[in-house]
């Protein structure tokens, strides 16, 4: 049986995951880091029958929520994925300022795509998102259900950026600019186990009232579209047309 000529293999897509926090103990034991959650999400998209010549994604993880964090040279990555964080993006602290500076440069670098998630707050557990036209076109449906844990909101989209959907509490649930970036407020990488641990932790810290906690716990086990968004992320990474 002849071997495959190495020249027919397309170059791998180099995905750099910027980890902006650390999972709680149970999730950390299972996944290691937030980057590990995304590796699991992308692995769920892979077909065991995929041809050897199919384009691959390689993963590199960078813990950036600390002073002196090391970042990759932007020439060495094709896509950057920014995980959620318990910290607000608006805080004036050195590591967040550095992250904002690096991402600003990445967004102006033609060959780099950026994927972003949010993590701070009180839209919690599984919630429905009414998709805007851009979201419907990308996902092929009218409503998206995702796990949530966020408080910060985006009030409007910058010029040239499309809103992907909305909820009653948050008018911008995702943003998209073809060939440049895509982001969601919800968390496709979270499952019921992960979100329950987050909810229990916030309740124990006194951050949730009993009504919000009980309502969120009930919704934690509802079906959601995390895998669908994971497939969209894979398409965004691999396809030049998105």
User: Distance (Å, rounded) from C-alpha 20 to C-alpha 95?
Assistant: 9
Q: How confident is residue 120, by pLDDT bands cut at 50, 70 and 90?
A: low
Q: For residues 157-171, give the mean pLDDT.
A: 92
Mean pLDDT across 214-229: 96
Q: Examine residue 1 and state whether it is found in any structural domain, yes or no.
A: no
Residue 22, CA distances (Å) to 62, 185, 211 in order: 12, 18, 27
CATH number for position 53:
3.40.50.880
Residue 226: domain span: 6-238
d(CA 231, CA 213): 30
Q: Does the residue 99 lie in any domain?
A: yes
Residue 22 lies in a domain: yes
What is the per-residue pLDDT for 86? 78
> What is the mean pLDDT of the segment spanning 209-220?
92
Q: In this predicted structure, what is the pLDDT of residue 98?
A: 95
Q: Give percent of the chain with pLDDT exceeding 70.
A: 90
Whether residue 19 is contained in a domain is answered as yes
Model pLDDT for residues 66-76, shown as the tens digit of each residue: 989 999 999 99
Q: Kindly state whether residue 133 falls inside one of the protein's structural domains.
A: yes
Number of domains, the chain:
1
Is 150 inside a domain boundary?
yes
Render 152-215 in DSSP notation, one character per residue: --B--PPTT-EE-EE-SS-SBSEEEETTTEEEESSBTT--HHHHHHHHHHHHHTT-S-HHHHHH
Could you tell me which of 49, 118, 124 has the C-alpha nearest to residue 86? 118
pLDDT band at residue 96 using 50, 70 and 90 as cut-offs: very high
Mean of the pLDDT values across residues 168-194?
A: 93
Residue 49's pLDDT band (cuts 50, 70, 90):
low
Residue 144 falls within a domain, yes or no?
yes
Taking residues 138-153, what's their average pLDDT? 89
């Amino acid at each position: 049986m002849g071997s495959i000529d190495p020249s027919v293999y397309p170059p791998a897509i180099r995905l750099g995951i910027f980890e902006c926090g650390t999972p709680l103990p149970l999730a950390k034991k299972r996944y290691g880091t937030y980057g590990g959650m995304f590796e699991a999400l992308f692995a769920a998209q892979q077909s065991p029958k995929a041809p050897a010549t199919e384009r691959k994604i390689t993963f590199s993880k960078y813990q950036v929520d600390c002073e002196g964090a090391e970042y990759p040279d932007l020439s060495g990555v094709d896509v950057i994925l920014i995980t959620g964080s318990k910290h607000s993006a608006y805080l004036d602290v050195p590591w967040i300022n550095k992250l904002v500076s690096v991402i600003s440069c990445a967004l102006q670098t033609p060959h780099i795509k950026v994927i972003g998630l949010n993590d701070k707050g009180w839209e919690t557990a599984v919630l429905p998102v009414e998709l805007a036209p851009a979201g419907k076109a990308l996902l092929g449906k009218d409503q998206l259900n995702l796990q949530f844990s966020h408080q910060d909101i985006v009030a409007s989209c910058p010029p040239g950026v499309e809103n992907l959907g909305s909820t009653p509490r948050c008018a911008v649930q995702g943003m998209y600019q073809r060939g440049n970036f895509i982001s969601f407020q919800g968390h496709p990488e979270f499952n019921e186990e992960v979100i329950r641990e987050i909810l229990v932790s916030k309740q124990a810290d006194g951050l949730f009232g009993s009504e919000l906690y009980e309502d969120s716990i009930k919704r934690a086990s509802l079906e959601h579209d995390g895998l669908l968004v994971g497939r969209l992320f894979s398409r965004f990474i691999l396809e030049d047309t998105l």
